[in-house]
Amino acid sequence: MGPLTRTVELFYDVLSPYSWLGFEILCRYQNIWNINLQLRPSLITGIMKDSGNKPPGLLPRKGLYMANDLKLLRHHLQIPIHFPKDFLSVMLEKGSLSAMRFLTAVNLEHPEMLEKASRELWMRVWSRNEDITEPQSILAAAEKAGMPAEQAQGLLEKIATPKVKNQLKETTEAACRYGAFGLPITVAHVDGQTHMLFGSDRMELLAHLLGNQVQWLTPVIPALW
């Protein structure tokens, strides 16, 4: 009898670059670590408001550190992450509400497409400096992810429905109950215990909790570059 599969939840928002890093690491390791990875689209602005936290870009020194940090991590993890040209506008004005509602709809009706659709939205905002707020931009990301146009349009039309809005709200509130003050958070359910880890730089600790070791892998999707 093989080792038991452990459940690991990743709460994320495509507005968060560190969420992308954590997402890619977990996608690379989920089979090696024998985990049941559950992707949880959430709304970072709701978590910030609930916790009283503020975006790092509002503190100049923290924003500068973040820019340098992401540059180093881009090469270390081989993820093509780049600061948007108008960072503050992207983070503080445009936001990600429509995109995260769309991913919530994807998760409700076509969860098998969630990983690819999430990645394509990250690629738009954090790699190619493209918009993720306009409907056509979301549809373009869905098409790039391999989703049929009719299916994507149907999901987009549902983002304003109570079902989708309530689900995103409930998932965001679940992250807050776990203690989130930002994203990403990884919640590991191991041996009857629940561990919440903040950020993308806690994967070695996650591996320890799971009884594994980290041997950094090359990307499973070379096309990221």
Residues 93-131 pLDDT 10s:
889 999 999 999 999 999 999 999 999 999 999 999 999
Annotation says 16 is catalytic: yes
Q: What is the pLDDT of residue 222?
A: 52
Q: Catalytic: which of 16, 19, 42, 98?
A: 16
Name which CATH class applies to 6-215.
alpha beta
What is the Cα–Cα distance from 115 to 142, expressed in whole angstroms?
A: 11
Q: What is the pLDDT of residue 1?
A: 44
- Three-state SS at 120: helix
For the segment 3-58, what is each residue's pLDDT rounded down to a tens digit? 677 999 999 999 999 999 999 999 999 999 999 999 999 999 999 999 999 887 78
In the chain, domain spans? 6-215
151 contacts: CB under 8 Å, gap ≥ 6: 110, 142
Query: What's the whole-number average pLDDT of the chain?
Result: 92
pTM of the predicted structure, to 2 decimals:
0.92
pLDDT-based confidence at 216, cuts 50/70/90? low
What is the Cα–Cα distance from 153 to 175, expressed in whole angstroms?
A: 29
Q: What is the pLDDT of residue 217?
A: 60
Question: Strand 6-12 relative to strand 35-41: parallel, antiparallel, unpaired?
Answer: parallel
